[in-house]
Chain A
């Protein structure tokens, strides 16, 4: 197989990898914030549920979680829901990454000095205004480096989609490598991940710079 043929066969896989990446971020970044806020809920039951969720997600491999999302409905509930591969994949990624983001958000929120809340309270800001106008902007600045780490890990973790035989770039590389007895597909996949992370690191450092106007 020619190099160019190989590349064009793998191109749709790249798109699928980018798809998993994008959808996971779109789902997990906001969901993580909801989880972080629920973790600080005044209801013990809510805090306990969120605590259990985070510890299960962090305590088990993402690969296993993906398999549970995919096969769980059938094995656990005898449900047959047709082609559930892609939704299960995205669900697995979003639920997993939301837990990690939630902990990053929580750390960020707790690092804001209590004086900021008190000043807001005396000035008459509502709780929602205090969070959106005063706390959140400062939290975002503080957590950016940690978020960057997590996003870079996500780029590489998209390769775990091969466990559900979803043909993103890593699955394709394995297949083509086996059928063509060639090492080249792995090199292509490696370059793809590296470049993708280079772009991520570049974009994130730009955002960090943009928030450099205050300390």
Chain B
């Protein structure tokens, strides 16, 4: 198991966003998380990538515990230093890319490997150029983010995450800020990564994509996992009434 999240609880003020959620991801697996907005999908990703802290439950990467619930029922994290190691296991691609506007594409890809992971600059550049090649934007290495289309920016963001050599890559609605034309080029890249057996968790509203690419689909609503399983089962033969209702919207 690369990632295990058990009995995760999270609330914002009076809102219970995650109610006792458990899920795990195996090496090479692609998991899609679907569901209406406000269902807790993004919060789950943000908890997994340590952008949010959980109130209760357990987070494990590679069998090692990053957070667990103590006897009084509160979540306890490992020290900041140890957390640094856990952050290294995972990468996150944001809905709005969040590239550094003041860095060129190449610099965006090598800055963290060099200054956070202390890898050699030459090696980082080689890795970066390889990734840009794969993303089909090697010719834009010297461009600045503002000079790129949204689709290109998102591909740079994916390359930036991959440059850190994560064991698992999370996507938080990677195409929601893109128009349909540009969505395709980003999905193509993710599909390609799936074929290479990159472990990924994708929060998405692109149902055909989720169905085609993922090994497993989670349908979340109201802070719980309503239904999960093989994409063909969930999409073509949903068991829960709430899932049916949600998927009907996309048939229109």
Verify B98–A213 contact, CB threshold 8 A. Answer: no
For residue A116, CB closer than 8 A to chain B, the reply is yes
Interface residues of A in 109-160 (CB under 8 A from B): 113, 115-116, 118-119, 121-125, 129, 133-134, 137-138, 141
Q: Which residues of B contact A133 (CB under 8 A)?
A: 111, 115
Which of the 9-residue segments B68-76, B85-93, B239-247 touches chain A? B85-93
Verify B91–A213 contact, CB threshold 8 A. Answer: no
Tell me whether A124 and B94 are in contact in the complex, defined as CB-CB below 8 angstroms, given that A118-B51, A215-B146 are known contacts. no
Q: Which residues of A contact B101 (CB under 8 A)?
A: 138, 214-215
Q: Mark B99-142, 1 if CB is under 8 A from A, else 0.
A: 11110000000011001110000000000000000000000000
Counting chain B residues whose Cβ lies within 8 A of the other chain, the interface size class is 20 to 34
Q: Mark B208-220, 1 if CB is under 8 A from A, else 0.
A: 0000000000000
Verify A123–B112 contact, CB threshold 8 A. Answer: yes
Verify A122–B146 contact, CB threshold 8 A. Answer: no
Q: Which residues of A contact B51 (CB under 8 A)?
A: 118, 121-122
Q: What separation, in Å, do the CA atoms of A212 and B111 have in the docked complex?
A: 21
Interface size, chain A (Cβ < 8 Å): 19
Interface residues of B in 21-48 (CB under 8 A from A): none
Q: What separation, in Å, do the CA atoms of A138 and B116 have in the docked complex?
A: 20
Verify B98–A124 contact, CB threshold 8 A. Answer: no
In the complex formed, the residue of B with least CB distance to A125 is B116
Interface residues of A in 82-106 (CB under 8 A from B): none
For residue B7, CB closer than 8 A to chain A, the reply is no
Q: Mark A190-215, 1 if CB is under 8 A from B, else 0.
A: 00000000000000000000000111
Query: CB within 8 A of A137: which of B98, B102, B112, B164?
Result: B102
Query: CB within 8 A of B164: which of A123, A129, A213?
Result: A123
Q: Which residues of B contact A118 (CB under 8 A)?
A: 51, 94, 98
For residue B49, CB closer than 8 A to chain A, the reply is yes
Verify A214–B116 contact, CB threshold 8 A. Answer: no
Most chain B beta-carbon contacts within 10 A, residue among A115, A119, A129, A141: A119
Q: What separation, in Å, do the CA atoms of A116 and B117 have in the docked complex?
A: 19
Interface residues of B in 45-85 (CB under 8 A from A): 49-51, 84
- A interface vs B, CB < 8 Å? 113, 115-116, 118-119, 121-125, 129, 133-134, 137-138, 141, 213-215
Q: Which 10 A-B pairs have the closest CB atoms?
A: A119-B98, A115-B98, A215-B146, A123-B112, A124-B116, A122-B92, A214-B144, A124-B87, A137-B102, A214-B101
